Amino acid sequence: AVEIGAGVYLRAQAGWQAQMIQPGHLRLSKGIAVLDARFFGSFQGDASALISSYVEQILRPDSSQLATTPVQVVPVAAGSPGARATYVGSFTSVPQPIEGQLTAVLLQGRPILFDAWASQGQLDQALFDVGRMLETLEVRG
């Protein structure tokens, strides 16, 4: 298992490579698919608000074009309340249009956001693995 931050761990699926971008930001990648897992320690609010905040503070400033779906409440990781939305957009840091799925969860009060993304049309094949990884979320210590 690899740590995202604050004692929250997940198990990478076979073939996914884990890299710590910075404390609280773990990136898992397999081929052209990426799963960014981020711990937002100081965030106050619910999972839906975490997604909205991420879209406005992280995605939108880096995008030349961005469309998102409404946030839906979903169960994530052992029944912890979560939220999910999807997006498509063009980003200054990536040469081709991207589609992504955002999942946020408050795991024992720890706000975690997952941004699964790939080139437009390529994300679906990675979402099964992403779902399996989210099911392995656990808090240790």
Q: Which residues pair with 2 in a beta bridge?
A: 10
pTM: predicted TM-score of the whole model, two decimal places: 0.96
Q: Which two tokens stand for residue 136?
A: 């392995």
Residue 137 is given by DSSP the state: -
Summarize pLDDT for 45-101 with one digit per residue, the tens.
999 999 999 999 999 999 999 999 999 999 887 778 899 999 999 999 889 999 999
Q: What pLDDT does 84 receive?
A: 98
Pairing of strands 8-10, 98-107: unpaired
**Per-domain residue ranges for the chain?**
2-139
d(CA 127, CA 121): 12
pLDDT tens digits, one per residue of 7-44? 999 999 999 999 999 999 999 999 999 999 999 998 99
The CATH T-level fold of domain 2-139 is Protein Transport Mog1p; Chain A (3.40.1000)
Residue 81: the pLDDT is: 82
